[in-house]
């Protein structure tokens, strides 16, 4: 079995540097958690995707050297913004796809943080608990009836039942 994806040091550093570029300002303190969440998501995805993403991040990191004389991970503020924009509108599909992919994946991980969900008013757990309890109380008889129906005999073909000894 292939080993699950984990960020390389380069990937982690590049992504960490991109948190202020991609995420809203209020999410910046959550940067480490966002980057860690991205690793979980990549590990669950197709291995070709995570491998391609990792290679792309190395290219992104090194690609800053000619113009900025430093790696992308070391860029901050306006320079980091401009460098990312350069990839987003880059010369090849691969440039553009990587930049969009980073945006998508980081936005996903950003709004998976409980603080960010709460900030936009999304707090589903108490709601789920409330309606689950309501259903089992108010509709108790119907729930029981369906549970019984699921197991009740109802052969597809009347009179056909294959009797066999099972080991």
Partner 1 sequence: MAVAAKPAVHEGARPRNVFTRHDHHGDAVLDADVVIVGSGAGGATMAAELAEAGFDVIVLEEGSYYQTRDFTADTSAMSRQLYRDGGATAALGNPPILYQEGRTVGGSTVINGGMSWRTPDKVLARWDRELGLAGIARDLEPYFERVERRIHVAPMDPEAIGTDNLLLKKGADAMGWKVIGNLRNQVHCVGSNRCAFGCPTGAKQSALVSYVPRALHYGARIYADVRVDQITRHGKRATGVIGTVQGTGHRITVRAKLVVAACGAIHTPALLVRSGFRSPSGQLGHNLSMHPNVKVVAIFDQAITGWKGTHQAFQVREFQDEGLLFAAVNLPPAILAMSFSQRGAALGELMADYDRMVTAGMLCEDTATGRVRTIDGKPQAFYQLADADAANLKRGVVLLSELLFAAGARRILLPFHGADDLYSPDDARRLLARDIPTRGWEVVTVHMMGTARMGADRAAAVTDPFGMVHDADRLMVADASLFPTPIGVNPMETIMALSTRCAGHVIDNAGRFLS
Residues of this chain that bind partner 1 (CB under 8 A): 1, 20-27, 37, 40-41, 43-46, 49, 100, 103-105, 107-112, 116-117, 120-122, 124-125, 127-128, 131-144, 146-151, 153-157, 160-164, 166-167
Q: Measured from the CB of residue 65, what is the shortest distance to partner 1 in angstroms?
A: 24
Q: How far is the CB of 150 from partner 1 (least distance, A)?
A: 5
Least Å distance, CB 4 to partner 1, is 11
- Closer residue to partner 1 in complex, CB, 8/132: 132
Q: Which lies closer to partner 1 via its Cβ, residue 45 or residue 65?
A: 45
The full 3-state SS of the chain, as one line of letters, equals CCCCCCCCHHHHHHHHHHHHHHCCHHHHHHHHHHHHHHHHHHHHCCHHHHHHHHHHHHHHHHHCHHHHCCCHHHCCHHHHHHHHHHHHCCCCHHHHHHHHHHHHHHHHHHCCCHHHHHHCCCCHHHHHHHHHHHHHHHCHHHHHHHHHHHHCCCCCCCCCCCCCCCC
Is 91 or 155 the residue whose CB approaches partner 1 more closely?
155
Nearer to partner 1, 59 or 138 (CB): 138
Chain position carrying tokens 């109802």: 154
In whole angstroms, the minimum distance from the beta carbon of 134 to partner 1 comes to 6
């Amino acid at each position: 079995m292939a080993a699950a994806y984990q960020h390389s040091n380069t990937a982690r550093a590049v992504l960490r540097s991109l948190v202020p570029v991609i995420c809203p300002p209020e999410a910046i303190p959550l940067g480490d958690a966002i980057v860690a969440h991205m690793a979980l998501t990549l590990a669950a995805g197709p291995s070709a995707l995570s491998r391609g993403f990792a290679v792309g991040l190395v290219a992104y990191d090194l690609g800053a050297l000619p113009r900025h004389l430093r790696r992308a991970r070391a860029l901050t503020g306006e320079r980091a913004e401009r460098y990312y924009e350069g990839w987003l509108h880059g010369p090849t599909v691969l440039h553009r796809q990587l930049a969009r992919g980073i945006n998508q994946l980081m936005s996903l991980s950003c709004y998976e943080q409980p603080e960010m969900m709460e900030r936009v008013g999304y707090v589903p757990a108490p709601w789920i608990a409330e309606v689950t309890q309501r259903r089992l109380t108010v509709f108790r008889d119907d729930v029981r009836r369906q549970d019984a129906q699921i197991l009740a005999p109802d052969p597809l073909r009347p009179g056909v039942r294959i009797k066999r000894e099972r080991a």
